[in-house]
Amino acid sequence: MSANPITSAEDLSINQTTVDLNNHVYDQLELLSEMSRDFAASRDIEASLARAVQHITDHVNAEGGALFLLEDEGATLKCHGSVGMTDITGITLNSDQGIVGRCVQSDKAEIVRDVADDPNFHKGVDDETGYTTRSILCAPMRVKGERIGAIELINKRVGDGLFEESDLHLLEAMSASAALAIHNARMADALVEQEKLARELELAAEIQRSLLPDGNDGITEVRGINIPARTVSGDFFDYFQLDDKRIRFNLGDVSGKGMNAALLMAKTSSLYRCLGKTIDQPGKLLGRVNAEICETATRGMFVTMVGGIYDPRSGIVRMSNAGHEPPLFRTAEGEYTDFEAEMPPVGITTFLGDSDEYPELELRLNGGALYIFTDGVTEGYLEDGKEFGVEGVKGLLDDLSSVEPGSRLEQVVRKVNWGTDKLRDDLTMLVIDDAAAFKERSKSKSIDVVSSAAADLNSDEIMRITVPARADRLKLVRNWVFETARFCDCSEDTSHGMVIAVDEALQNIIRHAYKNSGIGDIDISIQRSDEKLIIVIRDYAETIDTETVRSRDVEDVRPGGLGVHFIQEVMDEAGFMPPPEGGGNVLRLVKQIQ
């Protein structure tokens, strides 16, 4: 509070001397409230200071007055308002110069009854203005022990023109009030400025939030979450559906924090979304975004990010990683794999190996979930002060495997955002969860693995052949199958159907198992068991994942992928036997003989 605290009512006892004092107290209060009102109304500190000097000068009945405030971290004193003689508003003194300087330094009010006797009197101002200073009053201004300046009055208007001790007390009281009013005005000013900045920041954050998907887009397989450590974030994620139902996704982390990171985030995210509607391949797309950012981004800023496409109909993810934390894949069985970035972040160089595109990685989710996150999650502190870490994240994901993807992310992030007011970094995480889509896909028929017990032990083998895995032998095989089926009393129609089934099965083996190499054998055995014809086809190629052999919805008209559908249409049973010892695959087809 002020140097001269306003005392309680007991001090204001009724006698002649205290009536004067009483008036003074009233005047200080009046000054304080008037200055405060003035600042609040005008919001112009300078004008209010000038009026305050006028008020004080009049009240003490001085010829002139000036109000100095400390500036340049206390190195100088600048006049912010003056009355009388010459206007010295704006002049600057060293903070130890003159009587006003001495007063501020010593932090004591003083009276120089006659300047002629004072060696500290700075004659410079008088020389410049042509004014004659005879007597000076000077009182420091301070708030909460902090010096902020001083008020100086010159020459008493009445009598001999020299100030009295009582004038000094009056000035001291008034300067304390002025100091408080100035302090309040400055605080109010800073507050207004702060609020303005906060409003602008909040507006920026709102725009940023609008760049993130709101989760009301009907996409259930992909979910994301972003918790900024400050108002704005340098992290981002996005996902959206393409016309063919595939889902494009990305997640990134801009180097640095604050507004510049937020702006680069907005730029990168918008570029990706826009270009992502025309450029299909994730590696090429990321390459184009990189080229654009390299060309225009501020030097030294970069973005680590992962971008890709997920196809819920196949469970396949294709993605590229530009210097980002390795995405974490959790299989349906709970095994983890991560994928290190092979190329630098976006915004550093357009020379990516021998190409300007990022390498792509293909991943079949098969009911598992792919997690992409920023290091804010793994490097965040838990409530016990320990770092979360990738292992911590894995452990929690194991516990949450049956939880819906969106709330799974919320719970992971909450581990680090447990109520601390100081997050270490932005928290951003994205999940591509294939579980539901996998279930849906499994409903469409696939060729099952049948147990060996289901194979018929008492069947008669009619004939067995071995052919090289070559397309030019298919016609021979077809003729053989047709004749053998006819031999077994199959109708012509049934025999044609069996031809189609065997032909398609062999086609798949030649193209996919032996990869069109033309090298390798295929054994075909036709057996008869009661009223069933059993065809067993064996190859010696790498054992395939039977999940990948799947029929396609025939309503979906496009080339390719019909073979398995044909087999299932014409045969009564079709299934893989458990993989034989020594590798390869065994397919068993069964048809009732009509």
Partner 1 sequence: MNCETREEQGVTIASLSGDVDLQSSPEVRKILIECVDQGKSLVVDLSGVGYIDSSGVASLVESFQRSRKHGHGFVLVAVSEGALRVLKLARLDKVFTICDTLEEGLSSLNK
Min CB(539)–partner 1 separation in Å: 15
Strands lying side by side in the sheet with 361-364: 235-241, 247-254, 303-311, 316-322, 361-364
243 binds partner 1 (CB under 8 A): no
Min CB(555)–partner 1 separation in Å: 7
Closer Cβ to partner 1, 545 or 555, answer by number? 555
β-partners of residue 338 are: 328
Tokens of 409: 């992310």
563 binds partner 1 (CB under 8 A): yes
CA angle 465, 470, 475 (to 5 degrees): 65
Closer Cβ to partner 1, 352 or 499, answer by number? 499
558 binds partner 1 (CB under 8 A): yes
566 binds partner 1 (CB under 8 A): yes
Min CB(570)–partner 1 separation in Å: 7
**Residue span binding partner 1 (CB under 8 A) among the ranges 124-132, 232-240, 299-307, 559-567:** 559-567
Phi, psi dihedrals of residue 82, rounded to the nearest 5°: -145, 155
Among 192, 242, 471, 476, indicate the residue that binds partner 1 (CB under 8 A).
471
**Residue span binding partner 1 (CB under 8 A) among the ranges 98-106, 112-120, 273-281, 499-507:** 499-507
- Exposed / middle / buried, residue 577 (Cβ in 10 Å: 0-12, 13-18, 19+): middle
Query: How many residues of this chain interact with partner 1, rule: CB under 8 A?
Result: 25
559 binds partner 1 (CB under 8 A): yes
Amino acid, res. 174: M
Among 544, 562, 577, 593, indicate the residue that binds partner 1 (CB under 8 A).
562
Closer Cβ to partner 1, 167 or 504, answer by number? 504
Min CB(498)–partner 1 separation in Å: 12
Min CB(554)–partner 1 separation in Å: 5
CA atoms of 58 and 495, how far apart (whole Å): 122
Amino acid, res. 434: D
**Residue span binding partner 1 (CB under 8 A) among the ranges 10-18, 259-267, 416-424, 557-565:** 557-565
Min CB(240)–partner 1 separation in Å: 26
CA atoms of 373 and 253, how far apart (whole Å): 9
Q: What do you get for the CA distance between the two ends of the chain, in Å?
A: 108
Nearest alpha carbon to residue 552 among 514, 504, 591, 490:
504
71 binds partner 1 (CB under 8 A): no
555 binds partner 1 (CB under 8 A): yes
474 binds partner 1 (CB under 8 A): yes
504 binds partner 1 (CB under 8 A): yes
Q: CB-side exposure of 157: number of CA atoms within 13 Å?
A: 11
Min CB(565)–partner 1 separation in Å: 7
DSSP for 380-435 reads -B-TTS-B-HHHHHHHHHHHTTTS-HHHHHHHHHHHH-SS-S--SS-EEEEEEE-H
Among 500, 544, 577, 593, indicate the residue that binds partner 1 (CB under 8 A).
500
DSSP for 305-358 reads EEEEEEETTTTEEEEEEES----EEE-TTS-EEE----BPPBTS-S-BTTBSS-
499 binds partner 1 (CB under 8 A): yes
Amino acid, res. 321: N
Closer Cβ to partner 1, 229 or 502, answer by number? 502
**CB-based contacts of 71: which residues, under 8 Å, 6+ apart?**
77, 78, 92
Among 76, 97, 507, 546, indicate the residue that binds partner 1 (CB under 8 A).
507
569 binds partner 1 (CB under 8 A): yes
CA atoms of 588 and 496, how far apart (whole Å): 18
Q: Which residues bind partner 1 (CB under 8 A)?
A: 471-472, 474-475, 478, 496, 499-500, 503-504, 507, 510-511, 554-555, 557-560, 562-563, 565-566, 569-570
